[in-house]
Amino acid sequence: MRALTFVDRAGRELLLRRLTRQDAEPLFVLHQELISDGRGMVLIPEEAHPPDKLADKIDEIHEHGGVFLGAFDQEELVGTLDLARIPRSMLRHNATLGMGIRPEHQGAGLGRALLEAALGWAQSNGISRVELFVRGDNLRAQQLYESVGFVPIHLRKGFVRLPDGRLVDDLYMELLEPDRDL
């Protein structure tokens, strides 16, 4: 996938490109910020992968025929989307999607831009089914996913226990044949 620029609704010019091993440290920093924010990721800080493991994950996603995208504001990594292809011949048309965006960059169109880039890439690379999991309390993300064609498949009641003890549902969503105009 070629790098591309995108101007969000706040007027910021962002660069969208494939991540490489060299992006593991900024990815670690972003993950720490998203975990601390507490609104999306289902990890606590101690469970976050260190940079060397993130570098391996980036390589693995690309080696198995997926794509790991990053969005950069100047030189700062502000969002990611990974599309991890299932590496078995009879399942290669499937991929799992994960996305995270720094809170101050949410709501300005970056999530949609990352989704459009990734789903366009999926169409060109033989992926016809994409699945994801999203926390039940993340309504903004659910609405974004539904707006590009994802449909809810299953609700896992009380699946996530937050650090304060509250239980949150987890929603499984899928998109079949991501090959239409968005």
pLDDT computed for residue 12 by the predictor? 95
Other Cβ atoms less than 10 A from the Cβ of 36: the count is 10
pLDDT at position 182 over 50 = no
pLDDT computed for residue 1 by the predictor? 78
The pTM (predicted TM-score) of the whole model is 0.92
pLDDT tens digits, one per residue of 42-88: 777 788 899 999 999 999 999 999 999 999 999 999 999 999 999 89
Distance separating alpha carbons of residues 115 and 97, to the nearest angstrom: 9
* Angle between helical axes of 51-63 and 24-37 (0-180°, round to 10): 110
Residue 70 Cα distances to 15, 30, 44, angstroms:
8, 11, 22
Percent of the chain with pLDDT over 90: 85
pLDDT computed for residue 178 by the predictor? 58
Distance of CA 132 to the CA centre of its chain: 9
Strand 167-176 and strand 151-161: the pairing is: antiparallel
Among 100, 92, 160, 167, smallest CA distance to 126 is for 92
pLDDT tens digits, one per residue of 116-145: 999 999 999 999 999 999 999 999 999 999
pLDDT tens digits, one per residue of 144-168: 999 999 999 999 999 999 889 999 9
Tokens read off for 61 = 């996603």
Distance of CA 154 to the CA centre of its chain: 19
Residue type, 60: E
Domain ranges of the chain: 4-128
User: Looking at the domain 4-128, which fold is it?
Assistant: Aminopeptidase (3.40.630)
Say whether 13 sits in a helix, a strand or coil. strand
* Burial of 6 per CB tally in 10 Å (0-12, 13-18, 19+): middle
